[in-house]
Structure 1
Amino acid sequence: MNQTETQKRTALLPMIICCALFFILGYITWANGALIPFVRLAFNLQTDLQAFFVLSASYIAYFFLALPSSWILDKIGFKNGIVLSLFLIVAGALIILPAATQLNYILFLLAIFVQASGMALLQTAVNPYLSIIGPIDSAARRISIVGIFNKTAGIIVPFVLGSILLKDYDSISAKVKELKIGAEHDALLEELSNRLHGPYIGVGVGVAILALIVFFVKMPEVDVNKEEINIDETAKKKNSIFDFPHLFLGALAIFFCVAVEVMAGDIIGTYGRLLSLPPFFIKYGTAFTLGCMLIGYFIGIATIPRFISQQFALRICTVVGITFTVISVFTSGFTSYIFVALLGIANALLWPAIFPLGINGLGRFTKTGSGIMIMGIAGGAIWPLIYGYLKDSLGIDFQHAFLYAMLPAYFYLLYFAIKGHKVGLNLK
């Protein structure tokens, strides 16, 4: 049996575990879509801007944890890093329980941040691990498979959490508004917030079981330093990560990439509510957007690089994103809502195209560069707040506020697709 066949055999169990890990990442990340309308009601928040801090607490963790995660993994290894990340997710799920009981929104946001810290460490660990556990020539196939699990989880979670957390949303919302502050009002909010207990106890137990499986199952440990055999000639002449301007332009592109993903995937429920659509579309909006992302993902698998390059795909996606955004703003009702969901198709290929362009040619600086790129995920923390500020504080119509938030992001991504990814690399 040759080495490749051996690798394929030894990679099977880790591959199954990686699929489970990416499912968890997708499930918890896209749970935010269902949480936004829920927390506004359960915690009696006055504006959408306050509810959008759920997204900020989640995505800002990537900014603070991406580079420290690389240091942690160097010290304890990939397998132990995965186990640690999973127990951080469990800790966050457990903190949510007293936050719900006490109706303490600050504690709830802290719980979301702790969970996201675990996910930041998990992202930093599992992505390179996934690439190395098998033959390098089949890495793209492995990434495609786990990506499908990730997006599928994102489609499922709005239906699971929506049916539990947002059950009878309209009638309860109306009753909360009618009741004066007092015992009956507080009892209704307490009953509503207690709906969080079941889902997050389930998440805690499920993730803890997976952590124990990872800990006790024999998984191949990898050394990424041994993988760096061929160092780019250009990178050999560089003395610092700051000698690669295209990397930082790429990190900013990831910032805007995640910003538009979150705007289309997590804000769509709020958008549907403001369009006065039926509760079904408020509860399950994230699933519609992620379903469109899944379609875009399969399009990318079929076309890149056989028919189009990563750079050209990025240009097409940004132009489509701009077009769909404009249509969503200058239409109304269900048509407007549909074009927000269709942004999932435009957004699906942004990350796969941006990330390799951003770390292109880094050589021995690739690991540090990857951490810097991951920091760009913080775009998901900032952009919803900007949208909420435009809408709630400046009084701009919610559709025009959406336009003002989305267009600058897409125009920067178009710049990166055309020119930004070549800065400092002497590429034509």
Structure 2
Amino acid sequence: MTSHAQSQAIAPKGISRFIPILSIGVLFFIFGFITWLNGALIPFLQMVCELSEMQALFIAFCFYIAYVVMALPMAKILEKTGYQKGMSVGLGIIAIGCVLFVPAALTALFPVFLLAQFVVGSGLTILQTASNPFIVRLGNEESAAARIAFMGLLNKAAGVLAPIVFTTLVLSGLPEVNQELLNTLPEMERAALINDMSVSLIQPYVGMAVALGLLALVFMRLPLPVIEDNTVASVDTLSPASQNTQIWQYPHLVLGAISLFFYVGVEVIAGDTIGLYGSSIGVENATTLTSFTMVAMVLGYALGLLTIPRFVSQQAALLGSAVTGFIVTLGIVFADDSSLLISEILWGWTGIQQLPDTVTLIALLGFANAMVWPAIWPLALKDLGKYTAQGSALLIMGIAGGAILPVVYGGLSGLTGGQLAYMVMLPCYCFIGYYALWGCRKYTW
């Protein structure tokens, strides 16, 4: 599909581009809020269900593994419903998942929580499959990463709010709770407190379910443009890829999906383990530490929005992210838990809680990771034409990295300690760097 054909497909006369951008922005905010609730939910459910660190990370596993299991089925639904109705279906599925938190909270059974997480992840799968190619197609290809970066600002701003809102709504009526406190309480008192904590989840999740259900109805009525992917990109006729009949025949797409696997893995490790690691070394307010990672991501997205493609290409931004992530990870491995120097320098003058250098560097991974997702999507979807929906589904399957790599981190943490376990991210950043330099340019095997 040529650039002209794309613009005609998604910007029919009489439809303001502001409405589609605002609508997709709302979805990206929802992605961020629900996804990064996990950063607070994991240490919370670790206490409620009395889990080990390894078991607690299965909360993230069930959430992200849904992207693998449900990506292709959701792509089929998307082909039948179209992008707009598919978004409504996704919102409805997430609402159902939120409702499932009610029996989970009433019983405090970990498997029920995992089922609810899987259903929520399934709904997000179709939303992600629909909204990412939508925003890529909403303008010229060279500025696609900047548009996704703008969406990322909304996404990560929601990620900043989610742990804070969760802690305020769920823990506001309870004493300062942590694993150490629970271990010191008598059995009956501990059981009563755990029950109070579990039940406190019901009202917020019912509220989310109602809001998402109403939003699903609203999306059915919005005047959004229609994406048509029925033609093959003009460049395909000039390359051997013109004969491709399966998405597996596009190396830049397949390698992009692998890169997303590694990226989402390191992103989730940075966002969802910072609370567990901080709690393990005695950092206060551990359920809110994910917000520090999200603030760093917001700053990264803002920088990308200002510089791409005006000063920096999508490929250069991706390479810079990989190099920065590699360096920061090395810093985490060798940093001193007893030092507060980095946070003192960066924000000590603001009065915001200061953190040990290791925790600060984990948060700074958010800055390194910010532009990876926005840069990979347009590079991987380039010239797919009628295979765009399938290609998007394959990229969404890469989100499985968020299920698998944190569990790998948890296993290594039990063997080597939490700090050294962050070494699992080093090869991930190496592959992302390879994709930025060579993989994204590989159009034939």
Q: One fold, TM greater than 0.5?
A: yes
Does structure 2 retain, via aligned residues, the 8 Å contact 1:129–1:222? no
How far, CA to CA, are the matches of 1:9 and 1:139 in structure 2?
20
Q: Matches of residues 284-303 of structure 1 in structure 2 within 5 Å?
A: 284-303=288-307
What residue in structure 2 maps to residue 237 of structure 1? 243
Which residue of 365, 374, 389 maps to 1:343? 365
Q: CA deviation at 1:411?
A: 1.5
Q: 2:341 maps to which residue?
A: none
Residue 427 of structure 2 corresponds to residue 408 of structure 1: yes
Does the aligned pair in 2 maintain the 1:70–1:124 contact within 8 Å?
A: yes
CA distance 1:186–1:157, shift in 2 (3 Å): same
Q: Deviations over 1:82-101 (max 9, x none)?
A: 22111111110010011011
1:194 counterpart = 2:213: no
The alpha-carbon deviation at position 54 of structure 1 amounts to 0.9
Within-5 A mapping of 1:230-309: 230=234, 232-233=236-237, 234=239, 235-279=241-285, 282-309=286-313
Q: C-alpha separation between the residues in 2 aligned to 1:21 and 1:227?
A: 27
How far off its partner does 1:8 sit?
6.7
Q: Which residue among 73, 77, 90 is the counterpart of 2:78?
A: 73
Report the secondary structure of 1:225's partner residue: coil
Q: Tell me whether 355-364 or 162-171 shows the greater mean CA deviation.
A: 162-171
Using the TM superposition, give the Cα deviation of residue 172 of structure 1 relative to its aligned residue in structure 2, in angstroms. 5.3
SS at match of 1:308: coil
For residues 77 and 213 of structure 2, the distance between their equivalents in structure 1, rounded to whole angstroms, comes to 20
Does the 8 Å CA contact 1:7/1:133 hold for their aligned counterparts?
A: no
Q: Which moved more, 1:228-237 or 1:314-323?
A: 228-237
Write the deviation string for residues 41-92 of structure 1: whole angstroms up to 9, x where unpaired.
01111x1110111111111111122222221012122222122111111110
Structure 2 residue ranges without an equivalent (≥5): 1-7, 338-355
Kindly tell me: are residues 201 and 359 of structure 1, through their superposed partners in 2, closer, same or farther at Cα, counting changes over 3 Å?
same
Q: CA offset at residue 259 of structure 1?
A: 0.6
Which SS does the other structure have where 1:100 is aligned?
Answer: helix
Residues 9 and 203 of structure 1, relative CA distance in 2, 3 Å threshold: same
What are the equivalent positions in structure 2 for 1:40-59 lying under 5 Å apart? Answer: 40-45=46-51, 47-59=52-64
Q: Deviations over 1:354-409 (max 9, x none)?
A: 222223343443332221111101100001100111112xx212100112x11121
Taking only the aligned residue pairs, the percentage that are identical comes to: 40
Structure 1: gaps spanning 5 or more residues: none
| Aligned-partner Cα distance in 2 for 1:320–1:277 | 25
How do residues 119-130 of structure 1 correspond to structure 2 at under 5 angstroms?
119-130=124-135
Q: Aligned pair in 2 of structure 1 residues 249, 163: CA closer, same or farther (>3 Å)?
A: same
Q: C-alpha offsets along residues 219-267 of structure 1, whole Å, 9 cap, x if unaligned? A: 2451423575645222323343332233222111000010111111111
**Given that residues 229 and 388 in structure 2 are in contact (C-alpha distance below 8 angstroms), is that contact kept between their aligned partners in structure 1?**
no
TM-score by length of 1: 0.89
Q: CA 1:389 to 1:136, structure 2 compared with 1: closer, same or farther past 3 Å?
A: closer
- Residues 332 and 422 of structure 2 are in contact (CA less than 8 Å); yes or no, is this contact kept in structure 1? no
Structure 2 residue aligned with 1:391 = 413
TM-score normalised over the length of structure 2: 0.86
Aligned-partner Cα distance in 2 for 1:375–1:105: 25
SS at match of 2:312: coil
Runs of 4+, deviation exceeding 6 Å:
3-6, 133-141
Q: Is the 8 A contact 2:142 2:309 kept in 1?
A: no
For the structure 1 residues 163 and 228, does the alpha-carbon distance in structure 2 shift closer, same or farther, using more than 3 Å as the test?
same
Q: Post-superposition shift, 1:306?
A: 2.3
The alpha-carbon distance between structure 1 residues 13 and 154, as it changes in their structure 2 partners (threshold 3 A), is same
Point out the more displaced range, 377-386 or 246-255: 246-255
Tell whether the 8 Å contact from 2:15 to 2:225 is kept in structure 1 after alignment.
Answer: no
Structure 1 window deviating more from structure 2 (265-274 vs 128-137): it is 128-137
Give distance in 2, aligned partners of 1:169 and 1:63: 39
Query: Over the residues paired in the alignment, what is the CA RMSD in angstroms?
Result: 2.5
| Separation (CA, whole Å) in 2 of partners of 1:201 and 1:117 | 18
- Residues 64 and 399 of structure 2 are in contact (CA less than 8 Å); yes or no, is this contact kept in structure 1? yes
Identify the range of structure 1 (378-387 vs 230-239) with the bigger mean alpha-carbon deviation: 230-239
Give the partner amino acid of 1:224: E
